[in-house]
Amino acid sequence: MSLLVVGLSHRSAPVSVLERAALSADAQVKLLQDTLAAEPAAEGAVLATCNRIELYADVDKFHAGVAELSTLLAQHSGVGLEELTPHLYVHYEDRAVHHLFSVACGLDSMVVGEGQILGQIKDALATAQELHTAGRLLNDLFQQALRVGKRAHSETGIDRAGQSLVTFGLEQLSAGRPVEAWAKDKKALVIGAGSMSSLAAATLARVGVGEIVIANRTPDRAERLAEILMGGDDTDVLARAVPMDSVPVELTRADIAVSCTGATGLVLTAGTVAAAVEGRTGTPAALRETAAGPAGHLAPADACGDDACPLDLSAVQGATGFSVMGEAAVAGMDAATLEQHAAWVDKGTGTVERRDGRRTPGEEAEADAEVIAALAATAAGLGRIPERRRPEPVAEAPRPAPVLALLDLAMPRDIDAAVHRLLGVRFVDLETLAEASADAPMAADVDQVRRIVSDEVAAFGAAQRAAHITPTVVALRAMAADVVANEIARLDGRLPDLDDKQRGEITQTVRRVVDKLLHAPTVRVKQLAAEPGGAGYADALRTLFDLDPETVAAVSRAENNTENAKNRGRA
């Protein structure tokens, strides 16, 4: 059997895909159960966080294992296999071990060095143990991953390379100001009372907010978290719990809101946030202007505002400030779409009244149709419009300072992404954090952590290879003990007059001879098996001593049962 991991994370998939592929707690349980029911897998564990979904398994066939695990991830995430496959990564044997150890140290996190992943790995192991899907391999793997992560944080300065997503998110919300100065005496609303929400509440208390309100669907958990915050020795924050239906009201009082729940739908809609802003300012929350541009130019939304328009120019990146005729507005569009739009304009429905009034609607439609037809012809020859020109700078009207800061750490998202268009709102979500952290500098300590990971991977591999031969060595010694017992019994038949002392001396002598003959070969074979490429020594022992494979398998099953019983006792 061999270790295999199939997964996707913020490094391989956009947040929109991760959001759709997010697994609920029930879905994770069902995924584990189906993994063990699959033919290639003997063990399974799921590591699901806000920015990764990974399925670990002990498989006997690589290609069959990859196919089966990929299919199971697609089935339980609800994202089609064809759409999911380009975003999946696969790690096998030592590479899979190296991947998990790197994850445990925070090297693969959105914010390098954050330590929250250790708690999530611990939870993944506990779930697998509770469902009895983790055997010796995954128990050893995840437990050593936890030790490696703790070692990295205690022996290096990896903590200086990054921080938790909460801290990083607050830094983005503070827009360059020191978080403590920005957050001081503010009122905060935390939606949810799970591990991430608890971390958010503790972080907010530490940076100096004056009041924290906890809203959760289970009131007891919210009240317990509020009590913990109030009882902290290092903060003097006021904390209280409220029911979830109080969120709209509390939002009108809050300066900061952090949401991280397990909800499958939106917790805060754009309408709710707009109402909260209006409640704070006394005026309706306006949308940020996107339609204004230099004379003779309109934003794409205005240039193609009719519902029947087949070309959604508002979705074209960088198109703001271009007329429908501008090449940059349609750069990258394929020929078929442009031709369809040209036909739509040619029917006279795509008229746009220019602010300078130099063209009539009919003249405008005719000109647009001609230009778009020419662009379509170019696209037909080259495949796509080849050029994107930058618009003239547009002076933006000054925006009011944000009155409400929103941080969405949930996957799938809790807060409607449309709130970023509301004036008076500063909004940060996982996608924002991924973009902001892409260019974050790496600390020098990262190299030291990587060396730790490499050493620990080698040690884990050696231990696993040595453990792989142990059942064979045990079976060999058991066979030798049977041979001794049979020979002593035969001796008793031939020499019935031996007294107990004589019989005992003979028995001990024979056992010592057998032990001395087996000692050096079994010790040496364990050492050789621990080295890279040493897996074949177990087969050699079985062949040389004609050991029954079923006897060896029975020893392995007995050891696994003992290990599982220990793990259940620890859980």
- Tell me whether residue 486 is annotated as binding: no
- Tell me whether residue 308 is annotated as binding: no
d(CA 323, CA 353): 11
Q: Give yes or no for a contact between 95 and 5, defined as CB atoms under 8 angstroms apart.
A: no
Q: Give yes or no for a contact between 110 and 51, defined as CB atoms under 8 angstroms apart.
A: yes
Is-catalytic flag, 105? no
- Tell me whether residue 318 is annotated as binding: no
The secondary structure of residue 117, as a DSSP letter, is: H
- Tell me whether residue 567 is annotated as binding: no
- Tell me whether residue 120 is annotated as binding: yes
- Tell me whether residue 54 is annotated as binding: no
d(CA 325, CA 338): 11
Beta bridge partners of 452: none
- Tell me whether residue 314 is annotated as binding: no
- In the set 50, 105, 260, 304, the catalytic residue is 50
Query: How is 467-506 classified by DSSP, letter by letter?
Result: HHHHHHHHHHHHHHHHHHHHHHHHHHHH-TT--HHHHHHH
CA-to-CA separations, 211 to 190, 191, 207, 227, 256, in angstroms, rounded: 11, 14, 12, 13, 10
Q: Give yes or no for a contact between 496 and 567, defined as CB atoms under 8 angstroms apart.
A: no
The 3 state secondary structure assigned to 164-213 is: CHHHHHHHHHHCCCCHHHHHCCCEEEEECCCHHHHHHHHHHHHHCCCEEE
d(CA 564, CA 209): 45
Q: Residue 412, preceding bond cis, omega within 30 degrees? A: yes
Joined together, the tokens standing for residue 41 give 């897998």
d(CA 142, CA 149): 10
If you search the block for the tokens 């005026």, which residue do you land on? 283
What DSSP element (H or E) covers 41? strand 41-49
Beta bridge partners of 9: 52
- Tell me whether residue 442 is annotated as binding: no
Give all strands (DSSP E) within 206-317, no chain letters.
Answer: 211-215, 238-242, 256-259
- Tell me whether residue 206 is annotated as binding: no
The residues, any chain, with a CB within 8 Å of residue 492's CB and separated by 6 or more, are 498, 503
- Tell me whether residue 196 is annotated as binding: yes
Q: Give yes or no for a contact between 168 and 433, defined as CB atoms under 8 angstroms apart.
A: yes
Beta bridge partners of 190: 214, 258
What DSSP element (H or E) covers 188? strand 187-191
The secondary structure of residue 390, as a DSSP letter, is: P
- Tell me whether residue 381 is annotated as binding: no
Joined together, the tokens standing for residue 503 give 């019989």
- In 3D, which of 73, 49, 45 has the Cα closest to residue 59? 45
| Positions marked active-site | 50
The annotation places the binding site at 49-52, 109, 114-116, 120, 192-197
The annotation places the binding site for NADP(+) at 192-197
The annotation places the binding site for substrate at 49-52, 109, 114-116, 120
